[in-house]
A and B are shown apart, each in its own frame.
Chain A
Amino acid sequence: MTDHQTVSIIMIEDDEGHARLIEKNIRRAGILNEIQHFTDGTSALEYLFNADKGPAQGGPALVLLDLNLPDMGGTDILAKIKGSDGPLKRTPVVVLTTTDDKVEIQRCYDLGCNVYITKPVNYESFAQAIRQLGLFLSVIQVPDSEGHG
C-alpha cells in the first residue's frame, strides 16, 4: 500500500451484522485501514462521487460491495463506478454478496468488477474467506492516488 495516503476501504453493505462480521475478520487479518461503512446505495454513491478526498477526487480506495441493497441494486453502483471517468473508474471493486447466481456473477464481471466473492453461509468458511480477503487486500496494488488522470 502506498504510504502517503492510506487506502480506505469503502464497504457498502446494508446488513449491519454482516458489516460487523466483515470488519471484525478483516481486522483479525491485520488490516488496519480505515473502513467506511454505508448501508444504502445512495449515500455510498454520494461519498464515492462527491466527498472531499473521496475516490472520485483521487483518494485511494477499495470498494467492498454487496449486491442486495434496499434502495438500488449493487450492480447499478458497480455500473456507475466503472462507467465514470477519472480515478474512480480504476478503483478496485470486490463484490461480496450472498448471490451465487451464475448470470449475476457474469454480469458483475462484464460491468468491470475486479473480484467476486460469494459469502459462505457457514461462518467458519465466511471468517476464513474474509481473512483471506484481508490478506489479499494487504498485497493488492491500488492505483496511485496522485493520479495521472
Chain B
Amino acid sequence: MYTRLVPSFGVSEGRMGRFLVTCMAIGFFALIAAGVAAAWSTAQNEHHTREVNHTYEVELAIDRARIAIEQSETARRGYLLTSEPVYLGTYRTAMAAVPKAVGTVATLTEDNPRQQGNVITMRRLVGDLSAQRERTIAAAEAGDRAGALTQFEQETSIRRMRAVRSLADTMVREERRLLAVRDAAQQASVQVFYVTLAVAGLLLVLVAFITLVTVLRYTRELATSRDALRDFADTLEDLVDERTADLSRANEEIQRFAYIVSHDLRSPLVNVMGFTAELEAATGAITELIDRAEEKAPEIVSEDARLAAREDLPEAIRFIRTSTQKMDRLINAILKLSRQGRRVISAEPLDIAVLIDGIGASLTQQIEHRGATLTVEQPLPNLFSDRVAVEQIFSNLIENAVKYLDPARPGRIVVRGKREGKRIHYEIEDNGRGIAPSDHARVFDLFRRSGTQDQPGEGIGLAHVRALAYRLGGVIDVSSELGRGATFRLTLPATYTEAKTDTRGR
C-alpha cells in the first residue's frame, strides 16, 4: 500500500517555478508598460502645453501688431486734424513698432505656410498703409493741412484697415483652429495613456491573482504531500510492527518445535546412554572372564575375543559415550533456548547504563585479563522491556566481544545507543578479530560458529540473542570486517508490547 502513496508526492517544483517566473515577468512587463505610458503621456502633455503657449504667443503678437497699426492710425488722424506734434511722435513710435510686431508673428509662425502667407499679405497691406500714411503726414508736415486732409479723404485706408483687421482675425482663427487640432491630439494621447494604464493595471491584478492562487494551491499541495509523507511514515511504522510480529510468531513456532523435538530426542538418548552403561558394565564382566580364562586356560582364549574385550568394546563404548554426551549438550542447548522463548515477558523500566555496568562488573576478570576496556557512551536511551531478556542479550554480546578480542591489540568495547521514533538502536562495537562477511548471517544460527575454534562454546549464544531480540519485538544484525572488529546492532522497541499474533490469522 505504501507504493501507492509515492507518486502523489509529485508537486512538480520545476513547472511551478517556471510558471511563477512567467507570472512575475508579465507583472514587471505591465509595470514597465505603465511607466512608459506615463512618461510618454507626460512628454505629450508638455509638448501640448508648449504649443498652447505658442498659440497664445502668436495671438499676442498678432494683437500687438494690430494694436500698433490701429494706434498709428489714430495718431495719424489726430495729427492730421490738429497738427499737434504730440500725435506725430505717437504716430512715429507706433509705426516703428509695426514691422517688429509683424516680424515677431512671422518668426513665431515660421512652421506654418498658411500663416506665412497671411504674414506676407499683412506685410503688403502694412506697406501700402504706411506709404499712404507717410504721404499724408509728409503733406501735413509741409504745412499743407488741407491737402493732407483731402488726400486722407481720398485714400482707401479705411478699406485697407478693414482688410488688416480681417486678416488679423483670420490669423487668430487659424491659430485657434491649430489649437483645437492640438487639443484633440492631446485628448487622444491622454486616452491612450489611460487605456494603457488600465490594461497594465488589469494585467497586474490578474497576474497577482493567478500567482496568489497558484502559490496557495502549491502550498496546499505541499501540505497534502507532507500529510501523505507523515501517513507514509506511520504506515511504515505499522509495517515494521507487522514484520516484527511475523518474526516473533515464526520465532515462537520454531521454539515450540525445538522444544518438542529436543524433548522427544531425549528419550532415546536416555536409552542409548543407559544401555551403553549397561554394556560397559557387561564388558567389565567379560574382560574379567577373559582375564581369568587367560590365566587358567589360555588355549581357549582366541586373539579375536581378547581384542574384542580389551580394545574394541571399550573403544566403541567410549565413542558412543562422547557422542551421546555431545548430543546431550546440544539438546540441552536447544531446550534452554526454547525454554527462554516460552518464558513470560514482564516489561519494566530498565536503566540500560546501569545494566551494562552490572554486566561489566561480572566480566571484570576476563576484561582485565585481556587488558580490554568497556565503554558506555552516554547518553544511552533506556527501555521499558523484560529485564532478564535484555540482560541476557547484552551480556551475551559483551561476553562474545570480550571472548573474541584480538590478542594483538588492546581490546576496546563500546556500547552506544540512539532513539529513532518508537525504536531504540543499540550498538555493541569491538575491535576484536571480527567475523568474515560470509559468516554474518550464519553466526546467528544455532550451533554455528565462525573463525578459529579456540574458544569454548556450543554456538548457541547468538542464536539465543536473536531469539530474545525477536521475542522482544526487535531485530539484531552484525557488520564486521575480518580482523578489524565487529559491530552488533540491536534494535528494540522502546516500550515492549505484546505481539498481536491472535488478531491476524493465516
A and B assemble together: yes
A21 sits at the interface (CB 8 A): yes
Q: Which residues of A contact B270 (CB under 8 A)?
A: 15, 17-18, 21, 98, 119, 121, 123, 126
Cα A61 to Cα B263 in complex, Å, equals: 29
Contact of B277 with A124 in the complex, beta carbons under 8 Å: yes
Cα A99 to Cα B273 in complex, Å, equals: 18
Known: A24-B278, A98-B263, A99-B263. A122 touches B273 (CB 8 A): yes
B241 to A: closest C-beta gap in Å: 29
Q: Can you spell out 20 A-B residue pairs with CB atoms less than 8 angstroms apart? A: A15-B267, A15-B268, A15-B271, A17-B270, A17-B271, A17-B275, A21-B274, A21-B275, A21-B278, A68-B263, A68-B267, A98-B263, A119-B266, A119-B270, A121-B273, A123-B270, A123-B276, A124-B277, A126-B270, A126-B274
A73-117 with Cβ < 8 A to chain B: 98-99, 101
B284 to A: closest C-beta gap in Å: 15
Chain A: interface residue total (CB-CB under 8 A): 16
The residue of chain A having its C-beta at the shortest distance from the C-beta of B332 within the complex is A121
Do most interface residues of chain B lie in helix, strand or loop, or is the interface mixed?
helix
The residue of chain A having its C-beta at the shortest distance from the C-beta of B321 within the complex is A123
Q: Which residues of B contact A18 (CB under 8 A)?
A: 267, 270-271, 274
Cα A99 to Cα B260 in complex, Å, equals: 10
Contact with A along B321-340 (1 / 0, CB 8 A): 00000001001100000010
- Of A21, A24, A101, A121, the contact of B266 (CB 8 Å cutoff): A121
Known: A17-B274, A17-B275. A122 touches B263 (CB 8 A): no
Contact with B along A117-146 (1 / 0, CB 8 A): 001011110110000000000000000000
Which residues from chain B sit less than 8 Å from chain A, CB to CB? 263-264, 266-271, 273-278, 328, 331-332, 339, 342
In order of increasing CB-CB distance, the 10 nearest A-B pairs are: A17-B271, A123-B273, A123-B277, A21-B274, A123-B274, A98-B266, A121-B328, A15-B267, A98-B267, A121-B270
Cα A124 to Cα B274 in complex, Å, equals: 8
Known: A98-B263, A99-B263. A121 touches B269 (CB 8 A): yes
Q: Which residues of B contact A101 (CB under 8 A)?
A: 339, 342
A99 to B: closest C-beta gap in Å: 7
Q: Which residues of B contact A68 (CB under 8 A)?
A: 263-264, 267
Cα A65 to Cα B219 in complex, Å, equals: 77
Q: Which residues of B contact A119 (CB under 8 A)?
A: 266, 270
Cα A15 to Cα B275 in complex, Å, equals: 13
The residue of chain A having its C-beta at the shortest distance from the C-beta of B335 within the complex is A100
Q: Which residues of B contact A24 (CB under 8 A)?
A: 278
